[in-house]
């Protein structure tokens, strides 16, 4: 895949600015947590898995054209094999005390000390090939004296932005450099969530495993110790005559190699976007809080909006959600949830798209209550049953969530004309549009490949929640937040919750290949959850991106990539991941 100039790795969007936006930009639209969001420090630390201590080795030998017949690679080995080979290699290369460069170009964040503790001595392949890397072949030939007595230390320089994803595997290059050695060898620790092979020219292939969530890393050491007798200057001479006690052999250098997703901005310059959807023809619709529905076509944001809806925009008011009819190619219909300017009420309406314009078609639902400044939710999604689901916030009054006489604090389930499906639950003796209740601020929702409805519900003072919403379910608000601890009869606990320490707002939930991706616009991170079959509970939270920014939507695109909508600065980002094959749930 060609990498554009604005492509960066997942962990490194402009960190300081993104973190500022995550904490402050997210607050601009409140999300129903008030001044509490302004207290404390947002915590978003990566939870990288500890690598195995196993390592293996590859020799720089045949050129790329010869690799078909002789193909030295780095493979993961068992710990016992690595330990057995370590002693013999140590006699060749006494530079045990060499510390890897802490700046670790390409790894992005500071190197986890755990990886350093778990790196073993290099182990030998049984028949190491010999040869010259491309970097060596192109280098100016050093003099005999320089090659023997002032030999240069080999280096590697991996840049994650240069990696490509081919058929679910990451292909990269270590870019080895050594102008005066005839043979380089590579050793690598085993990645936490996959396997890696390294060719003699420094190219590598990373194959993700079932536990891969978008990021991994491994440590590679390059050595020229097998290139015949040579000394790396005065430090190498001192190391030789003191049997490794002083100086440095200079034979090796080490780098942590980061494997991650590739981020590319699809479009920027959006005005506080809140939702987006793909159209069957490849266009993307983006809803902006102030009422405009924008069109992205071939990566370009069209100047004129599809339509501009008259909305109230104070605090959380404005457009809340957007959905595209499953039969859009035949009927051109889209659905928008918003606070109407004329009535100041939560409203769900249908519009018809014609080319790059749209017109009002029908109002489907209108609240009976005047819209408060916040707690409007807005999540819209079509289920596999063809019904339209709408998440409506409690309108800044917790009691609404248990009041079955209004739509607030609820998930509604509707036909596409706004009527009530005949199989909706009967609640309090009446069948209405209410599908589930007891929610505070259901900001986003998604359906899993197996049909479960997952809802991200923004909390008040204690917890953020992911709920598996079922017909007739009561999710406890306002008497419970997070896991219920008292008077819990008839209430359903979230499948995942996390504390709001320092302010929080869970504003995204998406399912991709069996993993649940969630985002918090205040803390600024994207996290991946591993869930049980049927999504009855989730855990094993792994930070996917600690500096993702103020995410308001995550969704898988038709191309299999993960798309992220950022509230401020308004942009749509495409995140390409290497895929572990089958879905896990």
Q: Report the distance separating Cα 186 and Cα 60, nearest Å.
A: 8
C-beta atoms surrounding 140 within 10 Å: 6
Q: Report the distance separating Cα 472 and Cα 452, nearest Å.
A: 14
Residue 577: the pLDDT is 79
Average pLDDT of 419-435?
Answer: 97
Distances (CA, A) of 139 to 62, 132, 156, 225, 431: 17, 11, 15, 19, 79
With cut-offs at 50, 70 and 90, classify the pLDDT of residue 152.
Answer: confident
Q: Report the distance separating Cα 585 and Cα 582, nearest Å.
A: 9
Average pLDDT of 345-365?
Answer: 98
Q: What angle do CA 464, 470, 471 make, to 5 degrees?
A: 135
Residue 579: the pLDDT is 60
- Is the Cβ–Cβ distance between 358 and 306 less than 8 Å? yes
Residue 548: the pLDDT is 94
Q: What angle do CA 77, 169, 175 make, to 5 degrees?
A: 75
Nearest Cα to Cα of residue 437 among 486, 470, 397, 482: 470
Does residue 94 surpass a pLDDT of 80?
Answer: no
Tokens matching residue 57: 């080795």
Residues 381-400: tens digit of each pLDDT: 999 999 999 999 999 999 99
Residue with tokens 């925009």: 313
Using the 8-state DSSP alphabet, how is residue 101 labeled? P
Q: Report the distance separating Cα 507 and Cα 520, nearest Å.
A: 6
Tokens matching residue 455: 């809802």
Q: Report the distance separating Cα 585 and Cα 446, nearest Å.
A: 15
Of the spans 117-121, 192-196, 241-245, 336-340, which averages the highest pLDDT? 336-340
Q: Report the distance separating Cα 129 and Cα 131, nearest Å.
A: 7
Q: Is the backbone of residue 283 left (phi > 0), alpha (psi -120 to 50) or beta?
A: beta
Residue 262: the pLDDT is 78
Does residue 434 surpass a pLDDT of 80?
Answer: yes
Residue 236: the pLDDT is 54
3-state secondary structure of 64: helix
Phi, psi torsion values for 544, nearest 5 degrees: -85, -45
Residue with the bigger pLDDT between 455 and 242: it is 455
Q: Report the distance separating Cα 217 and Cα 321, nearest Å.
A: 37
Given strand 55-59, what is the order of strands in its sheet? Answer: 55-59, 185-189, 215-223, 252-260
Tokens matching residue 437: 């209740």
Say how far residue 77 (Cα) sits from the centre of its chain.
29
Residue 230: the pLDDT is 57
Given strand 164-166, what is the order of strands in its sheet? Answer: 164-166, 169-173, 203-208, 194-198
Residue with the bigger pLDDT between 576 and 391: it is 391
Does residue 98 surpass a pLDDT of 90?
Answer: no
Residue 11: the pLDDT is 35
Does residue 30 surpass a pLDDT of 80?
Answer: no
Q: Report the distance separating Cα 73 and Cα 55, nearest Å.
A: 12
- Supply the mean pLDDT for the chain: 77
Q: Which residues pair with 227 in a beta bridge?
A: none
Average pLDDT of 311-335?
Answer: 98
Distances (CA, A) of 328 to 254, 286, 351: 54, 16, 11
Residue 381: the pLDDT is 99
Q: What percent of the chain has pLDDT over 90?
A: 54
In the chain, % helix, strand, coil (3-state, to 5) comes to 15, 35, 50
Residue 539: the pLDDT is 86
Residue 150: the pLDDT is 59
- Is the Cβ–Cβ distance between 309 and 291 less than 8 Å? yes
Average pLDDT of 564-582?
Answer: 82
Average pLDDT of 21-39?
Answer: 38
Positive/negative CA dihedral, 557, 465, 503, 406: positive
Does residue 219 surpass a pLDDT of 50?
Answer: yes
Residue with the bigger pLDDT between 226 and 389: it is 389
Positive/negative CA dihedral, 129, 130, 132, 133: positive
Residue with the bigger pLDDT between 342 and 28: it is 342
Residue 72: the pLDDT is 37
Residues 45-57: tens digit of each pLDDT: 222 233 333 334 4
Q: Report the distance separating Cα 44 and Cα 522, nearest Å.
A: 10
- Is the Cβ–Cβ distance between 217 and 107 less than 8 Å? yes
Q: Report the distance separating Cα 30 and Cα 37, nearest Å.
A: 8
The structural domains of the chain, ordered by start, are 8-44+262-576 (2.120.10.30), 55-259 (no CATH)
Does residue 251 surpass a pLDDT of 80?
Answer: no
- Is the Cβ–Cβ distance between 553 and 444 less than 8 Å? yes
Given strand 346-354, what is the order of strands in its sheet? Answer: 319-324, 333-339, 346-354, 357-366
Residues 401-415: tens digit of each pLDDT: 999 999 999 999 999
Residue 435: the pLDDT is 99
Does residue 229 surpass a pLDDT of 80?
Answer: no
Q: Report the distance separating Cα 99 and Cα 33, nearest Å.
A: 47
Q: Report the distance separating Cα 112 and Cα 217, nearest Å.
A: 10
Of 83-92, 302-311, 445-454, 462-471, the least confident = 83-92
Of 237-246, 268-277, 423-432, 482-491, the least confident = 237-246
Count of H-run helices and E-run strands, the chain: 7, 36
Average pLDDT of 90-116?
Answer: 36
Residue with the bigger pLDDT between 253 and 470: it is 470
Average pLDDT of 454-459?
Answer: 98
- Is the Cβ–Cβ distance between 437 and 402 less than 8 Å? yes
Of 97-101, 272-276, 320-324, 366-370, the least confident = 97-101
Of 45-54, 73-82, 239-248, the least confident = 45-54
Residue 253: the pLDDT is 81
C-beta atoms surrounding 84 within 10 Å: 12
């Amino acid at each position: 895949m060609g990498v554009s100039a604005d492509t960066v790795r997942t962990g490194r969007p402009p960190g300081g600015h993104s973190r500022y936006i995550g904490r402050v930009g997210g607050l601009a639209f409140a999300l129903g947590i008030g001044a509490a969001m302004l207290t404390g420090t947002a915590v978003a630390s990566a939870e990288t898995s500890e690598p195995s201590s196993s390592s293996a080795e590859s020799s720089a030998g045949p050129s790329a054209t010869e690799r078909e017949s002789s193909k030295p690679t780095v493979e993961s080995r068992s710990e016992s094999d690595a330990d057995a080979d370590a002693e013999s290699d140590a006699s060749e290369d006494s530079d045990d005390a060499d510390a890897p460069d802490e700046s670790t170009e390409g790894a992005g964040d500071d190197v986890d000390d755990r990886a350093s503790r778990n790196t073993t001595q290099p182990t030998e392949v049984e028949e190491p090939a010999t040869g010259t890397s491309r970097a060596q072949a192109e280098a100016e030939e050093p003099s005999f004296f320089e090659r023997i007595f002032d030999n240069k230390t080999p280096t590697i320089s991996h840049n994650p932005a240069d990696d490509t994803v081919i058929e679910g595997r990451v292909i990269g290059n270590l870019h080895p450099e050594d102008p005066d050695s005839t043979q380089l060898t590579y050793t690598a620790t085993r990645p936490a969530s996959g396997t890696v092979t390294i060719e003699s020219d420094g190219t590598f292939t990373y194959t993700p495993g079932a536990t891969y969530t978008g990021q991994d890393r491994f440590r590679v050491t390059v050595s020229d110790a097998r290139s015949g007798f040579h000394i790396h200057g005065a430090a190498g001479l001192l190391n030789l005559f003191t049997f490794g006690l002083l100086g440095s052999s200079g034979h090796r250098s080490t780098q942590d190699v980061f494997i991650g997703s590739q981020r590319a901005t699809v479009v920027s310059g959006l005005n506080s976007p809140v939702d987006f959807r793909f159209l069957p023809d490849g266009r993307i619709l983006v809803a902006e809080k102030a009422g405009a529905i924008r069109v992205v076509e071939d990566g370009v944001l069209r100047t004129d909006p599809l339509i501009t809806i008259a909305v109230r925009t104070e605090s959380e008011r404005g457009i809340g959600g957007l959905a595209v009819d499953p039969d859009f190619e035949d009927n051109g219909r889209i659905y928008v949830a918003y606070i109407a300017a004329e009535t100041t009420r939560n409203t769900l309406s249908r519009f018809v798209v014609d080319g790059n314009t749209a017109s009002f078609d029908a109002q489907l639902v209108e609240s009976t209550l005047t819209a408060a400044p916040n707690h409007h939710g807005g999540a819209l999604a079509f289920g596999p049953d063809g019904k339209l689901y709408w998440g409506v916030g409690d309108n800044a009054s917790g009691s609404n969530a248990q009041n079955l006489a209004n739509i607030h604090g609820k998930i509604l389930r509707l036909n596409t004309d706004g009527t009530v499906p005949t199989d909706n639950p009967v609640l309090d003796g009446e069948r209405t549009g209410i599908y589930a209740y007891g929610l505070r601020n259901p900001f986003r929702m998604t359906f899993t490949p197996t049909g479960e409805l997952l809802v991200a519900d923004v909390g008040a003072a204690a917890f953020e929640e992911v709920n598996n919403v079922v017909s007739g379910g009561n999710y406890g608000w306002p008497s419970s937040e997070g896991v219920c601890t008292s008077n819990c009869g008839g209430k359903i606990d979230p499948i995942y919750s996390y504390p709001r320490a320092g302010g929080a707002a869970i504003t995204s939930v998406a399912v991709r290949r069996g993993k649940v991706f969630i985002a918090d616009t205040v803390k600024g991170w994207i996290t991946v959850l591993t869930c049980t079959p049927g999504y009855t509970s989730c855990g094993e939270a792994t930070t996917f991106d600690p500096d993702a920014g103020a995410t308001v939507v995550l969704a898988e695109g038709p191309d299999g990539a993960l798309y992220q909508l950022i509230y401020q600065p308004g942009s749509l980002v495409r995140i390409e991941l290497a895929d572990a094959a089958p879905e896990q749930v």
